[in-house]
Each structure stands twice: as C-alpha cells, then as structure tokens.
Chain A
C-alpha cells in the first residue's frame, strides 16, 4: 500500500483541480483513479460539504426571488443605515457618531450603544469586493451577508460534529443546519440583523473551546477567545456563552473531570476573551461589574483553587493531612467569594441582573414587571407548534441523540448536551431563542442520525460478507457502533435494518420538504412589502410602507419630527430620512411611555404632549382596509400598558369592556375618543371595504367600527397610502391667541 500512495495522491489532486484528459478518458471510474478508500472518502466529504455550502446559501435566496433584493423588517434598517454611514464616513466618524435624528429631543450616541460587529463585517466585505474591482452597492452586500454567514456556519457545524462524534455526524449536522427553519428564520437574504453573524460566531466560539478542552492547546483556546470577541462585538446574546461555558466547567469539576486541558482552555479563553470584550464600548467593564458575568469569574477563581489543591496534593504525600487542608481551603474560598459578592452588590459596584436576563430565569417576571419586553412578539413564550414548525423531525431525533451522547460520555458530548438542554429551556421561554438552540439541536440530532445509520449500514455490510463477521472496518472509529456489531452476532436480520434505514431516510426527506416549504412560504417575507392571495389565487403585493416613507422624504421639511409607535422608528429614519421621537432601540422607557400616553389620550391632551415634543407629523399603521392584522390598533393595548407603566392616569381597563378589547359600537368611550382610534379610523366610516358589509367595516378586526363621524381639531390628514396601511397626519400649529 505504501508504495502505491504516491501516484494515487497525484491523481486525486488531478481530479480536484481541472484535468480535461481525465474527463475525456473513456474508462472514467473510481477504480481507474486508483484512489485509496480514505482519499475517496475525503473527496466525497469535500464534495458534500461544498454542496451543503451552496445549498445553505441558495435556500436563503427565496426572499430575493419572491420579492426583491431589499432589507427586511425593522432592526435591519437601522443596521443598514449605520453600515451606510460607516462606509461613507469611515470608522472613526462611525465610532463617535451622535445621532440627532432619533429619540428627539434626546438623541442617541450610536457608537457607544450598538454592537458594531455586523456593520464592520459588512463594510469589510464591501471594501474587499471593491478592492477586487467588484463594484456592488452596499445594500446588496448587506442583503447577502446573512446567507453568506449561514453557509460558513454549516462548515463550523461540520467541524464541531467531527469533534464531538465523528465525520459522519459532522456531515449530517452540516446538512441539517443548512436548511433548519429555526436558523433560516433569522438568516434569509435581507434579514440583515445581528443574529445573522452572531450564530456563526457563537458556534465558532463553542467549537474552538471544545477543541481547546479536548487538546489542551493554547492555540485553540486563543482562537476561542477571539471567537468570543467577535461574538461580543456582534450580539448581546454573548451573555449566553459567558454563562454556559463556566456552567460547563463547573459540571466537569463536580463530576470529577478536572484536567490540565480544561484549566488551560478555560483560563486562556476567559482572561483573553474578557480583555478583548472590554474593547467594545457598549459592553465596557460589564465583565467585572455586572451580576450576569459574575458566574464566569467565580468559576475562574474556583479553577485556581482546584489547581492549587492539585499542587498541594502533589507536594503532600499524607492523605489525611490533605483532607484537612482541603476542607479548610474549600470553606474559606467559598466564604471569601460569598463575602466579596455580597459587598460588591451592596456597595453597588456589581450591578444586579438586567430584566431580560431575569425574565429568562423566572419566566413570569417580564409579564408582570416589564411590559416593554413582554410586548415584543418574539419575546413570547413558545407553544409546541412553534417548536414543531422550526425543528420538525429534529425533535424526534433529539432524545435519541441525547441517549447516544450519554452512552459515549466525553468532555465534548457533555458540552453539547448542556448546550442543547439550556438553550432548549431558553427557547421555551422566548420564541426568538429558538435560534440559539438550533445549532445544538441540529448537532445532537445529527449524532442520532449518523450513529443509527452507521450501525445499520455496517450491519448490512457484515451480513453480506459472512466470512468477515468480526471485522468492523467501516465503523472502527466509533466505539459504540463496533460494540453493537460485535454484540449482534446472529439475529436482528437484514430486513429489520433495511426497514429502519428506509424509515430514517423517509423522515429525512420529509424534513427536507418541510424546510423548503417553510423557508419559501413563511420565512421569506420581508414584512415591509406585504403579500396576500387575491380572490383568484394571484399574489397581491402591498408596498404601502415604502410609499409612505418616500412620501415623507419628498414632501416634508428636512427637520420635521415624526411621531409613531416605536416599531417604525428605524424604518422612518432609514427610508424617510426624518427625525423620529422613539425607535426600536427602546433604551428610554419613559420616552416611549410618553408616546404611548399621547396615543391613548384624547386629542386635546395628545396635542399638548405633541407640542411639547415638537412633533410635526404623526404616522399610524392601519390594517382595516386590507385585513393586515399587526397594525397599530392591535398593538394599541401595549401602548396603553407601556404608557400606564409610567403615567398612572392611563389605565388599561378604561379601554376594555368586560376585559375585552373592542372597536365597534360597544367599545369603551375612552377607546372611541383616543388619538389612535381617531387617526386610524378618520374618514373610514365613508368607505365600503367588503361587499355586503356596511361602510366602515374593519376587515382586520371583523366588525363595523363604533365611531364613524370623526372630527379632527388639532391634526389634519396629510397622506394616506393606496391601501390605507400607513396614514400620516400633520400637527397643526397653534391657533392665534385671542
């Protein structure tokens, strides 16, 4: 074999590079190439990975095909606007940018209040492309950043799977994550959000850390520290890493798996990662000051205690003496740590946990105390159907994968089990965190698929070659599978194996079908252009949002201040280029509550508030004509709740009738006279929306409105888009004093 390896290698090189004579040769087959099995396998693996890489990219292009190359939703518009600023003005201007166009009259220090990772990444790609003389628009770069990073994630998933199980599991994991709806939902083309690069960074950090724990090499640990730095620069979800990794280390310590490798990996990753993370201004000194990061520091100190004890044990040969020493050290270490934490918290040096973090640990907390978190639809708890929708068969495979992991327990499988379970719990608390759990679910399910298929196929093979029953060539690397093949000497016939295999492949094909459908129908909508099916099954597009924003841009004074609910703030500044009162950053609850109060007060009171905020235009989103259900009337109760949280004059029950939210004749008088109601339904009573229904029939709520004769005193209608989705009103200047 050794002698043959040289020519075989050169030929395999020839196949991977271009070689016209090989393609022309009539006896083209693997045999003629004389590839060794290992090389064949490598070739196959690279080919599969390449295909998966492309698949992950193109599956996310449905949104471009169905609509157009545009930025989606809300937050991405802010990211786009800042990226544009970064590429035009340069990094230092971007870093020191004070934005006076949002949060009027407060303004916002952009450089210090955002995670710059995404923008810098996109800008670097843009500059690299320009350097290579590809003159693309920055928007295209932004649109395609998410699919590009999703493709990269598949590669990381492959290496991760290889690290915790074997190459087969790695490949399956890559395929699963490439099309998993849980990940696609946040990474379709145009969804230019922090999560797009953050999941890549998250998985990379974990992979490098596990690699560092497995090898005990400083280089991998350094890599994981830089991965962590990238993650911190990209997304606030880094808090998950800085808590999961110490938890993992703690579990290893408890279960008696402390090793020098772990010591090196964690110390290097923690110290370097912390120092690097402090360079991000938005994060600053939180690693040493905030309660959310204290666990990591505690575990770091605990590691030192362990190391010290190990050293003392080595020095002392007397076990009894060591036991006493151990007791004293552990007690004093815990005492000192506890006192330090207590003093730090009491003196205010260590800040307590933030609401978002707290609501993860105690799920009912947000509902009772922080309406601004509870109001966001992606912060809702997850019903089982959402899990099914986003994971499909992975959910069936997950327990099997868990079982396999426990069968072959190692430092790496412990990590993936912990990652899977913690993130699944968090996914149950908030819908958006399904995204974080997706890589873990894919990896664990991949282990299940790969191990099962491997067991079954090796079974089939051994049956075929009756003479070599003992040989477990194909599954030599995996302990578990070799055990299985050895165990089953006689029974468990071929038929059974084939039936199981068919079952597994049937499931996988259903998964592929599900993912494709979900990607194309559910997750590719940009939500800025709305699509509906017409009476004849044809697609109708509502482009009202952009129509309204461009109207603002063309027809209002450049210094006009627009008041709207915070959802539309980013879009108005990015597309309309006008100043807004509040936007999606939600950093100042009082300011948002003021807007909520204005919207839920009657016109006179609202006018006072709007005057005090220098508002020139008010923008509301209304779905009564089109039946668009996520409009301002349906969000109205949240405005009341958030407003009432700061201004007790606003009371939710005043807007309800018997605990029910109504807009028809039975609605509460406060509801019928509040600003939001008037602005949404102004002149709506004259309009017939549906055949056979009276005028003023609201299609989103399915009822005739209660107040058809709305008179505006301090505002006047300025513009209403073609489908009435966006309505803009001008605030009149005060009348002359008499």
Chain B
C-alpha cells in the first residue's frame, strides 16, 4: 500500500513538475530561437529579410509548439518565374523588402522588434516548404501567427493587398499583427552625397556656363547636337519605347515550348516586345539617314568608283530595310495589303 501511495505521489509530483520544466525549457529555447532569428535577420544581405530553407521551416515553425513567441511573414519566391513579367515577382519582392526594412528601423530596440520577422522561401531549394504551405500559385505571401498550427491555414495576403505595393502590404501586416510598421521609407533616388556633388558641380560650372551662353558658343548652339537629339527622339518614339515603359514589356521572352529559344517578335498588333520595336526603329532611321547621306554627303566624294559603290550599297540596304519592315508589319498585323486595280484589268 505504502509503495502504492508513494508511487502515486511521485506521479502527481511529476505531473506538476513536467509542465513547469517544459515551460522553463521552452522559454530558454524561445529566447534562443528569437536570438537566432535576430542574428539571421541582421546578417541577411538585404533589408533584413531572412532566407528560409526547409530545415529552418521545421526549426522555427513546425517543431515549435504554439503559441510561438513570434510571427513570421513569408514571401514565396521562384527564380524561374522572374522572367514572367505579369507576375511582377521581383517588384513585389523589392516592396516586401521595403516593408521589412521600414519595420526594423521603426521598431529597433523595442520589444515589438522581435515579435515579427520577414522571411522568404525560394522554390528551387525548398520545394517541401511549398507543399507544406500548399502554395500553388505565385505571388503568395503568408502570415504565420503565433497560434497557427496547420501551416496551410496561415493567413494569405490576397491580390488586393499586393495592388498598392508596400503601402497596402503594410496595412495587411498591421491589421494582423497589431504592430506598427510606420510610413514606408523609400530610398531616395539620389543619395545625399550624390546631390551634394551635383550641386557643387553646378555651382562651380555656373559662371563658365553663363559666360558661354552669353557668348553663344554652348552645345545649345551646335546644330549637330540638336540633330542628333532630334533623331534620337524620333528613334525612341517610333520604336514604341513608351509602350515598353508603360506596359513594362521585357526586351524578349523565352519560348514556352523550348526554354533555350528566345522569342524576339510577337504576333498581334496590340503587343510588342522591346527588341522588335528597336529593330524596326533602327531600320527606319537607317533608311532615312541614308537618303540624307546620299543626297547631301555622297556628292562631295571625289572618287567616281567609290561614289558608285556607296550609292549602290545604300540603295540595296534601303531596299532590304523597307522590305523587311513591310514584311514584318504584314506578318504582325496579319493584314494583306493589295492595290485596287480596275476590275476590267483582272482576268
């Protein structure tokens, strides 16, 4: 009997002790984990986003009992899909980095700084994690709260939160964590030293410039500069540079079927790729300038044979360029242009 009661006592004691011990062990390992995350964050090369691998996911998420002392916000990235301009992965990743660096700088030193960590997982190294989070489409940003047990149920940032970029991502983070990220600090286009140098240069050169302008011997008075500028404006306009900028078109894309092949020209008059616009713009410019060259420069060449050869060459080049452009245009727009001869001429 005695033995019995003794045993039951022990069991009871054990029952009381175990949670206490485990709690102690937990808090020790908690602070370890946080310290490790902080050191990972400070050693990460850009904006404090921690690059997680499959091991890290299990270490920081799956093997840690809930509630965890921190939340993670994870950006799922894939290098293979960077070339797909519609997904805007790289841009979103940059914005994500901005939110992260803003959060860190605003919460540095305070307690809140260790409650949220920004992470990224890349598909080629960590496919298992993608399965764990049930990520099928990108862009995908998940928020893992301290209480989330099943990672597939983590809160996902939806498209509306991407739309406004860093600002709306911030809203998403603040809504879920109740932490403040603060206003986004975008890096200025020019750093302070650069601005200083530019201002200094302007101040130094100002007297010289003013003197030159008054005398009328600046570049502004050189018509060759103006001509070059004019031709450049023309070139960039007709090659659809504005289209490329506004639509953020890439210069070329990879072939869907064969990865090693590149597609430079796209069918359909509503679309264009960067390279094709520049190619055609170049052809236009070449023909036009050749015409000017032949009528204004070539006549000054003294050697008769040279003149003839150059002339022939420029004629051939122009002919070829015009044919190319017309051919490309017909192919692209799928129009077949034909003259309307009188119907009696037709057989």
Contact = CB atoms under 8 A, between A and B. Distances in A.
Interface of A: 254-256, 323, 326-327, 363-364, 367, 381-389, 393, 395-404, 406-407, 409, 417, 420-421, 424-425, 427-429, 448, 451-452, 455-456, 480, 484, 487-488, 490-493, 496, 499-500, 503, 507, 510, 513-514, 516-518, 520-522, 648, 651-654, 656, 658-659
Nearest to A650: B160
Nearest to A515: B337
B216 interface: yes
Contact of A520 (B245, B288, B315, B340): B340
Contacts of B210: 327
Given A256-B216, A385-B272, A656-B159, 12 more contacts: A255-B221, A327-B210, A384-B280, A452-B295, A455-B295, A484-B295, A492-B298, A496-B308, A517-B337, A521-B335, A648-B160, A659-B86
Given A403-B289, A421-B230, A653-B158, A384 B246 contact: no
B123 to A, nearest CB: 16
A382 B319 contact: no
Contact of B322 (A396, A493, A520): A396
B131 interface: no
B216 A513 contact: no
B189 interface: no
Contacts of B298: 492
Contact of A517 (B86, B214, B285, B340): B340
A256 B216 CA distance: 7
27 contacts: A327-B210, A382-B243, A383-B240, A383-B270, A386-B269, A389-B269, A395-B238, A396-B288, A396-B291, A400-B288, A402-B227, A402-B230, A404-B296, A406-B226, A424-B234, A424-B237, A425-B237, A428-B240, A484-B299, A487-B300, A490-B304, A496-B307, A500-B294, A513-B337, A513-B339, A651-B159, A654-B160
Contacts of B343: none
B322 A427 contact: no
A421 B233 CA distance: 7
A387 B333 contact: no
Contacts of A424: 233-234, 237-238
Given A487-B300, A517-B338, A492 B239 contact: no
Contacts of B63: none
Contact of B332 (A385, A427, A429): A385
B269 A406 contact: no
B277 A389 contact: no
A402 B231 contact: yes
Contacts of A516: 339-340
B287 interface: yes
Interface string B56-73: 000000000000000000
Contacts of A652: 159-160, 163
Contact of A256 (B221, B227, B332): B221
Interface in B297-337: 298-304, 307-308, 311, 315, 318-319, 321-322, 325-326, 329, 332-333, 335, 337
Contacts of A451: 295
Contacts of B163: 652-653
Interface in B51-96: 86-87
B223 interface: yes
A384 B328 CA distance: 11
Interface in B215-243: 216, 220-221, 223, 226-227, 230-231, 233-234, 236-243
Interface of B: 86-87, 137, 158-160, 163, 210, 213-214, 216, 220-221, 223, 226-227, 230-231, 233-234, 236-243, 245-247, 269-272, 276-277, 280-281, 284-285, 287-289, 291-292, 294-296, 298-304, 307-308, 311, 315, 318-319, 321-322, 325-326, 329, 332-333, 335, 337-340
Nearest to A454: B295
B66 to A, nearest CB: 30
B288 A448 contact: yes
A495 to B, nearest CB: 9
Nearest to A481: B295
Nearest to A396: B287
A384 B333 contact: no
A427 to B, nearest CB: 7
Contact of B291 (A400, A406, A427): A400
B55 to A, nearest CB: 30
B218 to A, nearest CB: 9
A398 B269 contact: no
Contacts of A323: 214
Contacts of B220: 254-255
A130 B287 CA distance: 52
B318 A382 contact: no
A653 B160 contact: yes
A399 B284 CA distance: 8
B315 A499 contact: yes
A428 B289 CA distance: 21
Contacts of A427: 237
Which of A326, A456, A500 has the most chain B CB within a 10 Å cutoff? A500
Nearest to A518: B337
Contacts of B281: 384
Contact of A425 (B233, B245, B335): B233
A503 B295 CA distance: 13
Contact of A381 (B231, B247, B288): B247
A396 B159 contact: no
B299 to A, nearest CB: 4
Contacts of B303: 491
Contacts of A503: 315, 318-319
Contact of B246 (A381, A387, A513, A651): A381
B253 to A, nearest CB: 15
B300 A491 contact: no
B234 A397 contact: no
A428 to B, nearest CB: 4
B338 to A, nearest CB: 6
A493 B221 CA distance: 37
A428 B226 contact: no
B184 to A, nearest CB: 16
A39 to B, nearest CB: 30
A344 to B, nearest CB: 27
B243 A383 contact: yes
Contact of A399 (B226, B234, B243, B338): B234
Contact of A383 (B271, B285, B338, B339): B271
A389 B238 CA distance: 12
A428 B242 contact: yes
Nearest to B296: A407
